[in-house]
Amino acid sequence: MEFVTYEVKGQVGTITINRPKALNALNSAVLDELNEAFDSVDLNEVRCLILTGAGEKSFVAGADIGEMSTLSKAEGEAFGKKGNDLFLKIESFPIPVIAAVNGFALGGGCEISLSCDFRICSENAIFGQPEVGLGITPGFGGTQRLARAVGTGMAKQMIYGARNIKAAEALRIGLVNQVVALEELIPTVEKIAAGIAKNAPIAVRNCKKAINEGIDKDIASAVAIEEKLFGDCFETEDQRYGMEFFLDKNKEKVKEPFKNK
Ligand code: CAA
């Protein structure tokens, strides 16, 4: 792949968007390669993913403006669908995906981070949806996911005003969970990912599914989704082992890794 790299350390995989000449902007080739990278993840081996951008300046500076500049209405819609299909895949990816946002997360960059489970950013991060300044709407889910993440009032103010915000404000409005120094970003996110990867994988996946599938439902339907996924964890080797380990009061015993079974 030309614009995307994929690396696995232990049980954590890192997908890096690497198109530094255009500040990692998303053109069709990058979207295709990201699709390929997600498809290539071995879910028996990897238990948590990190998505980041190469370099120290930009996570992703948006969809590629050069490529979009000559699109017809139908082609614009198709380009939106291409991005949306990929971002839906990331959002519903079976294992957690953490966005490590290192710099600009504008337009499609803010949107791809919003399709991840949560965001950790560096102090130089800038988030925003500048699309109305280019004569378009956000097109890779920004009108929907930003509003769901930070509330409609804040999302509308950011989107209508094409207003960029810095890391501290992103933290204040709940767009990111944590802000760290740039050099601490990857080590911090790797530590968080490793902490997730050591927990029972079937349970972690079912938590993601329950939250994603229940969040827009009425509470009775939502807890019914949880019940099913809760039930699904029982009779797994990991559930049996996790509970037996707790109930066995032998303090000398060391907890073994979960088996994903
Ligand atoms: N698309 C294509 N190329 C881009 C790009 C983008 N989104 N963002 C940056 N680049 C390119 C620049 O054209 C420039 O290329 P050249 O060296 O060939 O001139 C290179 O990356 C470096 O960028 P700058 O020289 O502009 O760097 P800077 O430090 O002066 O500014 C910036 C950085 C503020 C991020 C600025 O590049 C910028 O405003 N980029 C566009 C951000 C944007 O509007 N994103 C939203 C795109 S629309 C969208 O994403 C729609 C959607 O929802 C699907």
Number of other residues whose CB lies within 10 A of the CB of residue 124? 18
Report the separation in Å between the CA atom of 54 and the middle of ligand 1, taken as the mean of its atom positions.
15
The residues near 64 (Cβ < 8 Å, ≥ 6 apart) are 22, 25, 26, 27, 28, 30
In this structure, the residue with its CA closest to atom 3 of ligand 1 is 22
**Helices in the chain by DSSP H: which ranges?**
28-39, 65-68, 73-91, 108-114, 142-150, 152-161, 167-172, 182-197, 201-214, 219-233, 237-247
CB atoms within 10 A of CB 90: 21
Rounded to the nearest whole angstrom, what is the distance from the C-alpha of residue 119 to the centroid of ligand 1? 21
Q: How many CA atoms lie within 13 A of 237 on its CB side?
A: 7
| CATH 1.10.12.10 fits domain 201-247 | yes
- Residue minimizing CA distance to atom 43 of ligand 1: 62
Q: How far is the CA of 22 from the centre of ligand 1 (A)?
A: 6
Nearest CA to ligand 1 atom 19: 22
Counting ligand 1 atoms within 8 A of each CB, the residue from 19, 65, 71, 164 with the most, and so the one to mutate, is 65
Q: Which helix (H) or strand (E) holds 119?
A: strand 118-122
Considering Cα of 35, then 36, then 39, then 40, what sign does the dihedral take?
A: negative
Alpha carbons 114 and 129: distance in angstroms, whole number: 12
What distance in Å separates the CA atoms of residue 256 and residue 197, rounded to the nearest whole number? 13
| Ligand 1 contact via 134 beta carbon (within 6 Å) | yes
Ligand 1: centre distance to CA 237 (Å):
49
- Which tokens is 72 given? 């017809």
Q: Is the CB of 86 under 6 A from ligand 1?
A: no
The domain limits of the chain are 4-197, 201-247
Cα–Cα distance for residue pair 49/38, rounded to 1 Å: 9
Taking Cα atoms as reference points, which of 128, 87, 119 lies closest to residue 101? Answer: 119
Nearest to 134 by CA among 113, 152, 107: 107
Q: CA-to-CA distance for 169 and 217, rounded, in angstroms?
A: 29
Side chain identity at residue 140, one-letter code:
F
Q: Which pLDDT does position 31 carry in this prediction?
A: 98
Q: Please name the residue whose Cα sits nearest to atom 14 of ligand 1.
A: 22
Residue whose CA lies nearest to ligand 1 atom number 22: 22
The response to whether residue 79 sits with its C-beta less than 6 Å from ligand 1 reads no
64 Cα: distance to centroid of ligand 1 (angstroms): 8
Query: How many Å from the N-terminal Cα to the C-terminal Cα in the chain?
Result: 33
HSE (CB half, 13 Å, CA atoms) of 31?
23
Indicate the fold that domain 4-197 takes in CATH.
2-enoyl-CoA Hydratase; Chain A, domain 1 (3.90.226)
Please work out whether the CB of residue 225 comes within 6 Å of at least one atom of ligand 1: no
Amino acid 70: pLDDT: 98
DSSP 6: E
Q: What is the largest CA-CA distance in the chain?
A: 68
Is the Cβ–Cβ distance between 18 and 12 less than 8 Å? Answer: no
The mean pLDDT values, 10 residues at a time, for the chain of 261 residues are 97 98 98 98 97 98 98 98 98 98 98 98 98 98 98 98 98 98 98 98 98 97 98 96 92 90 94
Catalytic residue numbers?
111, 131
Q: Which helix (H) or strand (E) holds 166?
A: strand 165-166
Ligand 1 atom with the shortest distance to the CA of 64: 1
Say what the pLDDT of residue 21 is: 95
Q: What is the pLDDT of residue 250?
A: 84
pTM for this predicted structure: 0.97
